């Protein structure tokens, strides 16, 4: 299935109100008209307010909408009526950790971190992808308390003046990770283990430039499977 991811910021709306609009009946009807089979809405809200945020873009990203097998023009038009579209990308998704999640639009019980990665200019695209997808994946899973892990390789930018983004990662953490580094890294309260995991993780991300020039957006996640005719 073709997946498209759209980054948004509110237009006169707070991030939480933006999420309410994205989960509303109007946007759902637009997605149904677009032929989308599945919609995922991630937005920053009070539940994740204490989590770490890194913002390369100013103003920052406040929400991310993902759609599968949709008429993108219809989706972008509907989103443009709700918010400011920062950028849209067609991606190829890999899911090393893909738990069964509710698909009725309810909130997933997790901190969902969405990270927008940029390839350093001095690193060959194929080598960048190899390090990220083939070598870093194991490190990320072994050093963090993630129970869901999704890697989205950007194939095309779909909007004018789209910011450079080469990969988009989503990681699902237990809610305690919002305010507890031990819960984030799965170190069980052991300070030495926490420091070991953090050092190993930082060393790995540094190899492909994911320790700089990135956006990390803490969000709540909502999934919805739509009943639309096959096309």
Domain positions in the chain: 3-225
The whole-number pLDDT of residue 15 equals 80
CATH number of this structure's domain 3-225: 3.30.70.100
User: SS3 for 193?
Assistant: helix
Q: Which residue has the tokens 């050093």?
A: 143
Element (H, E) at 196: helix 191-206
pLDDT in tens, 119-174: 999 999 999 999 999 999 999 999 999 999 999 999 999 999 899 999 999 999 99
Task: Please tell me the pTM assigned to this model.
Answer: 0.96
CA distances from 229 to 67, 69, 97 (A): 16, 12, 29
The whole-number pLDDT of residue 134 equals 95
pLDDT in tens, 52-91: 999 999 999 999 999 999 999 999 999 999 999 999 999 9
Distance between CA 183 and CA 5 in Å, rounded? 28
């Amino acid at each position: 299935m073709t997946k498209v991811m759209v980054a948004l910021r509110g237009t006169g709306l707070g991030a939480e109100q933006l999420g309410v609009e994205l989960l509303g009946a109007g946007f759902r009807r637009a997605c149904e008209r677009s032929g989308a089979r599945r919609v995922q809405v991630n937005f920053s809200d009070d539940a994740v307010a204490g989590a770490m945020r890194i913002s390369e873009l100013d103003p920052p990203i406040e929400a991310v909408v993902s759609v599968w097998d949709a008429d993108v023009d219809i989706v972008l038009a509907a989103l443009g009526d709700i918010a400011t579209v920062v950028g849209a990308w067609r991606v190829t998704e890999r899911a090393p950790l893909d738990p069964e999640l509710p698909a009725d639009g309810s909130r997933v019980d997790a901190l969902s971190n969405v990270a927008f990665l940029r390839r350093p200019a001095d690193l060959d695209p194929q080598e960048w992808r190899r390090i990220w997808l083939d070598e870093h994946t194991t490190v990320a899973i072994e050093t963090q308390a993630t129970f869901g892990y999704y890697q989205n390789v950007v194939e095309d930018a779909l909007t004018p003046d789209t910011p450079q983004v080469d990969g988009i990662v989503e990681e699902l953490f237990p809610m305690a990770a919002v305010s507890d580094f031990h819960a984030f890294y799965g170190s069980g309260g052991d300070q030495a283990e926490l420091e070991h995991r953090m050092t190993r993780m930082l060393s790995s991300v540094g190899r492909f430039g994911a320790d700089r020039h990135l956006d990390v957006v803490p969000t709540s996640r909502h999934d919805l499977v739509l009943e639309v005719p096959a096309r």
